[in-house]
């Protein structure tokens, strides 16, 4: 299978990209999923194929090793992958939304050449590490410390729940240069390379779903990170993290959109083929109403995700050039999408499982796996309670702005 050429015209490129991803997902990802889920292993071979196909540099411009397809192209790939599997989409998402895009927005030219180019080419995997045992939703309360010493910062502390944490070559780590200042001046973003002395991968969590992803504890003990690895300004790391999460929440919306379509497809096929009372169950209105609700939510979400992706693309790469209104809209829209998409996905997959009857509860069916995989989207990258706070604060501050 050929990778997608970035030189085709944009619409044709996106259509070609979608069909490449769909073919890859059905021919190469679907066959390994039962084993990946059962054994809870990182799918190395298919991740390597995603790198070969160019998926690891989708929104990054060609001059930095990517395909230059913006958030729109990135969301299209996440959507297509998620129709078949959420783990592959999560691996790509942690690398792209949370690792690479802040590097693209805030990195110096030297950092882009050193870190972004190999990441976008798929030569190095990235992860993002904000959460700590004592700071989840209240992420500004993190206590992993960063103390300046000579040419370095010494990092000390414990991070948890890091997606790609076991495999990543470079981790974007948020640490406190001054705990007392918290998110307003006290947090800095660091690019930490695997193999740096004092940096170790600790416990790997066992999870309900997303069994193809690692969820790692990271430990820092007098870990000396060179000052040139500070991403953005010292004390401005919280802005770096929140900018990454705006992209992450949008791509989670695209992931939920794909998951919903995958579940709808499974439910429709099953309902057309399952006979009860001498009729395919799809003839029953109770089943039809569930399918109709799925279609309506998919339709609405598709419009929302791509409108927000296009808005982020129109804002361009220069953070300093973003207007206050555009920033506020980006943050609000990605919070709305993340929250609604994850709740609609939960409901859609719940109903799709119900349509499968007892079979939906049997371990190893795609719908059973999708049900376990989907639940996390209401929790990670900011719980839905936090998304509602973001939306409410914006409404109170700006009023309703279309």
Ligand X SMILES: Cc1cc2nc3c(=O)[nH]c(=O)nc-3n(C[C@H](O)[C@H](O)[C@H](O)COP(=O)(O)OP(=O)(O)OC[C@H]3O[C@@H](n4cnc5c(N)ncnc54)[C@H](O)[C@@H]3O)c2cc1C
Residue closer to ligand X, measured from CB, 134 or 316 = 134
| 328: three-class secondary structure by DSSP | helix
CA distances from 12 to 7, 51, 76, 120, 320 (A): 10, 21, 13, 22, 32
Q: Residue 1 is encoded by which pair of tokens?
A: 């299978």
Could you tell me the smallest distance in angstroms from the CB atom of residue 85 to ligand X? 15
Q: Residue 114 is encoded by which pair of tokens?
A: 């050193």
Say which of 79, 132, 368, 381 is annotated catalytic.
381
Residue closer to ligand X, measured from CB, 90 or 263 = 90
Could you tell me the smallest distance in angstroms from the CB atom of residue 115 to ligand X? 17
> What are the φ and ψ backbone dihedral angles of 165, each rounded to 5 degrees?
-60, -35
- Please give the sequence-ordered ranges of beta strands (E in DSSP) within 335-378, or none if there are none: none
Q: Residue 363 is encoded by which pair of tokens?
A: 């371990």
Could you tell me the smallest distance in angstroms from the CB atom of residue 356 to ligand X? 25
Pick the closest to residue 85 from 383, 372, 359 (CA basis).
372
The kind and range of the H/E element at 43 are none
Residue closer to ligand X, measured from CB, 298 or 374 = 374
Pick the closest to residue 155 from 144, 163, 169, 143 (CA basis).
144
Residue closer to ligand X, measured from CB, 131 or 156 = 131
Could you tell me the smallest distance in angstroms from the CB atom of residue 209 to ligand X? 8
| Contact positions vs ligand X (CB under 6 A) | 94, 128-131, 136-137, 161-163, 207, 210, 215, 376, 379-383, 385-386
| 381 classed as catalytic | yes
Residue closer to ligand X, measured from CB, 130 or 155 = 130
Which residue's Cβ lies closest to ligand X? 136
* CA dihedral angle for residue 315, residue 320, residue 322, residue 325, rounded to 10 degrees: 160
55 vs 69: CA distance, rounded Å: 10
128 vs 241: CA distance, rounded Å: 9
| 219: three-class secondary structure by DSSP | strand
Could you tell me the smallest distance in angstroms from the CB atom of residue 101 to ligand X? 14
Q: Residue 25 is encoded by which pair of tokens?
A: 């997902």
Residue closer to ligand X, measured from CB, 73 or 136 = 136
Could you tell me the smallest distance in angstroms from the CB atom of residue 221 to ligand X? 19
Catalytic residue positions? 381
């Amino acid at each position: 299978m050929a990778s997608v050429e970035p030189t085709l015209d944009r619409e044709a490129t996106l259509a070609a990209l979608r069909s490449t991803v769909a073919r890859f997902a059905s021919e190469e990802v679907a066959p390994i999923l039962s084993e990946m889920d059962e054994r809870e292993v990182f799918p190395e071979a298919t991740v390597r194929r995603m790198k070969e196909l160019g998926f690891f540099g989708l929104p990054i411009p060609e001059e930095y090793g990517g395909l230059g397809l913006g958030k729109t192209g990135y969301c299209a790939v996440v959507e297509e992958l998620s129709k078949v599997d959420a783990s592959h989409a999560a691996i790509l998402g942690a690398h792209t939304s949370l690792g690479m895009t802040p590097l693209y927005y805030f990195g110096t030219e030297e950092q882009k050449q050193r870190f972004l180019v190999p990441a976008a080419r798929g030569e190095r995997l990235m992860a993002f590490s904000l959460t700590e045992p004592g700071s989840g939703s209240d992420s500004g309360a993190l206590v992993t410390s960063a103390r300046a010493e000579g040419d370095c910062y010494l990092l000390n502390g414990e991070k948890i729940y890091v997606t790609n944490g076991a495999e990543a070559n470079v981790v974007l780590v948020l640490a406190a240069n001054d705990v007392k200042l918290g998110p307003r001046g006290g947090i800095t973003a660091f690019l930490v390379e695997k193999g740096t002395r004092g940096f170790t991968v600790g416990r790997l969590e066992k999870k309900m779903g997303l069994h193809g992803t690692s969820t790692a504890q990271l430990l820092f003990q007098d870990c000396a990170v060179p000052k040139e690895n500070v991403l953005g300004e010292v004390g401005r790391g919280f802005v770096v993290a929140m900018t990454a999460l705006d992209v992450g929440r949008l791509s989670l919306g695209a992931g939920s959109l794909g998951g919903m379509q995958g579940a709808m497809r499974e439910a429709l096929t099953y309902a057309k083929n399952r006979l009860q009372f001498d009729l395919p169950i799809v003839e029953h209105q109770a089943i039809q109403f569930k399918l109709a609700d799925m279609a309506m939510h998919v339709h609405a979400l598709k419009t929302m995700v791509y409108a927000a992706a296009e808005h982020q693309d129109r804002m361009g790469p220069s953070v300093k050039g973003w207007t206050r209104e555009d920033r506020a809209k980006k943050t609000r829209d990605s919070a709305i999408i993340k929250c609604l998409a994850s709740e609609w996905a939960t409901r859609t997959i719940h109903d799709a499982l119900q349509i499968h009857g007892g079979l939906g509860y049997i371990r190893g069916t795609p719908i059973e796996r999708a049900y376990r995989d989907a639940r996390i989207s209401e929790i990670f990258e900011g719980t839905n309670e936090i998304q509602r706070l973001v939306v409410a604060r914006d409404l109170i501050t700006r009023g309703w702005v279309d």
